[in-house]
Copies of this chain bind each other. A is one copy, B any other.
């Protein structure tokens, strides 16, 4: 197009970057030598002097390896993808942070994508990540009606589930998972309410497509039975959102769902739902704790500061992220490794949203 600029400056920053060939020419060696000199793993194959010179030239030209070109050969990217169903739910960022910490220490970059609880979007994202060569995938978005696992299998991408498991039978044995012991966790909530003296307890469940919701629902029923109690009502929320929680709780309060006598306590499947429960109770003029005790699940950030402070089940988000990252790294290194399913034990955090039941009606 234009005659080469006579300036000695590093070639007038055109939008086209230096390649290995440029470095080779400038350093007076062959491109493969450059490749060897610049790749830490093969540096040893090359004379120190040459390595030195090549490195200098590369620096001077501002050379950066093209991950795309390298990936085309190596089929690796040193990048891990994480799929999250809903970034707005504050329990995920702490988990992600733990994952990133472990992976960053191993030189991996972590890329997060939001599936928005949408199976089609999830498939698209997996495919996109796969064709961009992510080396592994952490899936926090497991839900019924998903082909995430089969996609990963087809693309040969190691994957680890986190927080949520796959529905039973959906190839759950084929993939490792790090989850919370949800059955046990909700049991802690029931025990706590019963110990306070509650007998008429309802459960506000999550969307039954995801394992946390199913397990907590089942765990609730089981633990109630253990105490010889019949649940007053079980309402499924449509999603793990504040608004779905409000809707479900409103239905419960207004008797729009099958229910026994009015409850004195609600074990809620998730803290996000609890925000909506508070909204619904406020709108109905009912006081949390004084009129109806409420327990949450997750101990997500900030619920210690809502009013009244939420009694909830704390999950080990940090351990969850770390374990999942470690397992993924291990399985990437050795694909034949036996799959493992880790269940982390949660604990009860008692705050102010639970109290003994009010006397009489």
Q: A residues engaging B (CB < 8 A)? A: 13, 15, 17, 62, 64-69, 71-72, 77, 79, 87-88, 90, 93-94, 96-97, 100, 104, 109-114, 116, 121, 124-125, 127-128, 130-133, 153-156, 275, 278, 301-302, 305-308
Contact = CB atoms under 8 A, between A and B. Distances in A.
A132 B67 contact: yes
Nearest to A104: B121
Contact of A128 (B15, B72, B79, B121): B79
A88 B94 contact: yes
A275 B109 CA distance: 31
28 contacts: A13-B154, A15-B156, A64-B127, A64-B155, A66-B131, A67-B128, A67-B131, A68-B68, A68-B71, A68-B131, A69-B72, A72-B72, A77-B132, A79-B128, A87-B87, A87-B96, A88-B301, A90-B90, A90-B302, A93-B93, A100-B114, A104-B121, A111-B111, A112-B114, A302-B302, A302-B306, A306-B306, A307-B307
Given A275-B302, A307-B307, A110 B113 contact: yes
Contact of A307 (B62, B96, B100, B306): B306
Given A79-B132, A88-B90, A100-B114, 14 more contacts: A13-B153, A13-B154, A64-B127, A65-B131, A67-B131, A67-B133, A68-B71, A88-B93, A88-B94, A90-B301, A111-B112, A112-B112, A275-B305, A306-B306
A288 to B, nearest CB: 11
A115 to B, nearest CB: 10
A232 to B, nearest CB: 25
A230 to B, nearest CB: 32
A64 B131 contact: yes
A111 B67 CA distance: 16
A130 B64 CA distance: 10
A278 B94 CA distance: 22
Contacts of A67: 128, 131-133
Contacts of A275: 302, 305
A133 B65 CA distance: 12
A16 to B, nearest CB: 8
Contacts of A301: 88, 90
Contacts of A121: 104
A72 B132 CA distance: 11
A331 B114 CA distance: 24
Contacts of A79: 128, 132
Contacts of A109: 113, 124-125, 128
B110 A114 contact: yes
A127 B64 CA distance: 9
A93 B87 contact: yes
A310 to B, nearest CB: 10
A87 B66 CA distance: 28
Contacts of A62: 154
Contacts of A94: 88
